[in-house]
Amino acid sequence: MRIKTPIYLDNNSTTQVDPRVLEAMLPYFNDRFGNASSNHSFGWMAKSAVENARDIISDFLKVSSKNIYFTSGATESINLVHLGLTENVNPKSFHIITSNIEHSATAESLNHLATKGFDVTIINVDKTGTVDPDRITSAIKTNTKLISIIFANNEIGTINDVKTIGQFCKEQDILFHVDATQAVGKIKFDVSEMNIDFLSFTAHKLYGPKGIGTLYINNNNPKAKLARRLFGGSQEGSIKPGTLNVPAIVGFGKAIEICSEEMTKDYEHTVTLRDKFYKNIVSNLDGVSINGTMKDRLPNNLNFFVEGVRADKLMLELRDLAFSNSSACASGSTKPSRILKALGLTDEQALGSVRFGFGRFNTIAEIDYASQRVIEAVNKLRTLSKDKLQFHKQNIEQI
């Protein structure tokens, strides 16, 4: 069987738009192109499509549609929470707790607040890459107002005990924000049951379009009020003013609709692909170790360290495969991943780690091909490294 290359195995970075999603979006680029804020038939048609998508997403999350706000993506949703909650408060009165494995959208926005005088406590994860809820409870202060934690890490795929943390937040009357960008559409959870006040996620991680995200706000909690950070309109409750991206919103709704129907199938499919890939690798290569834990992990994520091989060199050797050696948001950096360093990896181990993300459209045949190519490339690079080391040793002996 002929395999079409390059094979895309970076589905934690972004996903292909599902053809069914694209089909649902297309009419809103031409025939139904109205502005959802316009008071005529074209506008009403667009507004109806927006509200239908909002209903689909709220039903999926089991929350009221009045609590769903559309944004440009998870990064904006995260920033709106952090900056909106702290806009009009005394920094000394607002303590925030987070972890050292957060996405850069959380890490950088909270670092920004720290420079403004806000007290931000960063909890270290354990060697499995998960947040221990007990460490959070130990960090509580009398002025703790917000806990902001990632549901599932984007690099190592580890899943945090959000339910336990959420229960603690409810008991202590602390606002709880969750970055669920990697979790939505992959694992089942209940927003209300987990006592989440703010939930951020995006469409392009679940086979929807880029440039559209959602922010859930628990409007039943009087403390969950965000100050305006953007101006120019009253759309989305003035939280995200501006003309709505109707085609993308429609696509988001369709992507969620498909997830609600096929999430179990997707879960089983990606777990099968992931486990087969990893088994093929470790059965044929020594010096391979998983980063994080396989117990509480996203079904489609695999991040591992390859001894004696630099990840960037491996990527150059495997141009027929699309995977990564870090988060896409940090791909321009030559420094070791801060997420992997948070697990206690050395610089060498972090720089020798790769991430593979398996998706709805990958096949067993692709996995067999890809794993064999990785094995060949690792063996080749290790041989070259040994030959180079032997050459240097001979030169030194001659001197």
User: Catalytic: which of 139, 230, 282, 329?
Assistant: 329
Tell which phi-psi region holds residue 175, choosing left (phi > 0), alpha (psi between -120 and 50) or beta.
beta
Q: Give me the amino acid identity at 283.
A: S
Q: Where do runs of H (alpha helix) occur along 62-210?
A: 74-86, 104-115, 133-138, 162-172
Is 329 annotated in the active site?
Answer: yes
| Tokens standing for residue 20 | 């069914």
**Burial 328-353, CB ≥16 within 10 A → b, else e:** eebeeeeebbbbbebbebeeebbbbb
Residue 159 · residue 377 · CB < 8 Å: no
* Beta-carbon contacts of residue 303 (< 8 Å; ≥ 6 apart): 155, 156, 157, 290, 291, 292, 340, 353, 354, 355, 356
Residue 33 · residue 241 · CB < 8 Å: no
State how far the Cα of 203 lies from the Cα of 294, in Å rounded to an integer. Answer: 26
Which residues are annotated as catalytic? 329
